[in-house]
Amino acid sequence: MSADERVDIYMPLYVRDFLTATIGWTASERGHYLTLLMLQWDRDGLPADIDALGRLSPGVAEVWGMLQDKFPLEPDGQRRNARLEEHRGRAVELRRKRSEAGKAAAAARLGSINRSSNVEQTLSNGSSIDNHPPSPSPSPSDSGISSREEIIQQAAPVVATSDSPKRRKRSQHHDAVSWDFESGWGGITAADRKTWSEGFPAVVLDVELIRASEWLKANPTRAHKSNWRRFLVSWLTRSQDRGGTNRTAGKTHDDAAKRAALERKSKEFAGYRQAPYRTPKEVAALAASLTLKEEVTQ
């Protein structure tokens, strides 16, 4: 996650919505749910493996059946809560706007300081100007203007600009992989394709490049990477680990877990039998009979 994508402000918590969405939950389920939301806010995603989640929130495996649908698996291999991600995107955009406004204000102050510094430096060098050979033009004393005043009038004004000082970028290799919203991928050589095809045999490279590009377009707040080659290798690695581009549906670890949960629930309700319907009079009579039995026993 790049520095531009971090959010170092408070995480919004809508109390009524949270309580409504978790009504009927146990304290343990609510606690793990809130912990995972805060971890997603801070880390921009949660690991897909349940063991890795258990290390972040010990004991979450015991209630994962309730929380699993709240954090679906996304194409980049991370789990995210959709509604929290919307708030996160707005927070990132707000941070970006505030940063740009601060840079513009700093640039304006820098321009003002430079202008004052140039005037002071010109005044300090006025004595050297007085020692220059006379020129055909009238001297300052003839026109009634001192040499210092003349220098101030001739000094070129420094215009403040709103553009922030450009940061020096690190030199990149001539064949560095790049991505652009309009043109897509660039810098991928034939050698890269050959290496990736051999390293990820279950992956159809052209299809995965299109999928990765569309995912970046759908998630613009995470489309600012400093190392696109690393992003692509990670993308291809996850696709290879999940069975490749044309993997059979229902064979992934996540699908198997969902299927096991459904089978477990079906076994739990297999012996359930609905109670016979009784009219209000029958219910009253049954209650009276139970009371009479208790009185007799006493």
> Tokens 């992956």 label which residue?
203
> What's the rounded Cα separation, in Å, for the pair 288 and 293?
9
Tell me the CB-side half-sphere exposure of residue 91, using CA atoms within 13 A: 17
Per-residue pLDDT, averaged over 77-99, amounts to: 83
Residue 143: pLDDT band with limits 50, 70, 90: very low
- Asked whether residue 289 carries a pLDDT value surpassing 50, the answer given is yes
> Tokens 């300081």 label which residue?
113
Percent above pLDDT 90 for the chain: 20
- Asked whether residue 10 carries a pLDDT value surpassing 80, the answer given is no
The three-state secondary structure class of 105 is helix
What phi and psi, each to the nearest 5 degrees, are found at residue 284?
-65, -40
- Asked whether residue 249 carries a pLDDT value surpassing 70, the answer given is no
Which range has highest mean pLDDT (73-77, 89-93, 146-150, 249-253)?
73-77
* Degrees, nearest 5: CA angle 133-138-142: 110
> What's the rounded Cα separation, in Å, for the pair 205 and 201?
9
Residue 129: pLDDT band with limits 50, 70, 90: very low
Q: For residues 152-162, b (16+ Cβ closer than 10 Å) or e, as one string? A: eeeeeebeeee
Number of CB atoms found within 10 A of residue 242's CB: 17
Which of 39-53, 58-72, 88-102, 228-242 has the weakest average pLDDT?
88-102
Name the residue with higher pLDDT: 81 or 136. Answer: 81
Residue 140: pLDDT band with limits 50, 70, 90: very low
The three-state secondary structure class of 244 is coil
> What's the rounded Cα separation, in Å, for the pair 193 and 297?
86
pLDDT for 1 equals 55
- Evaluate whether 179 touches 213 at the Cβ level (below 8 Å): yes
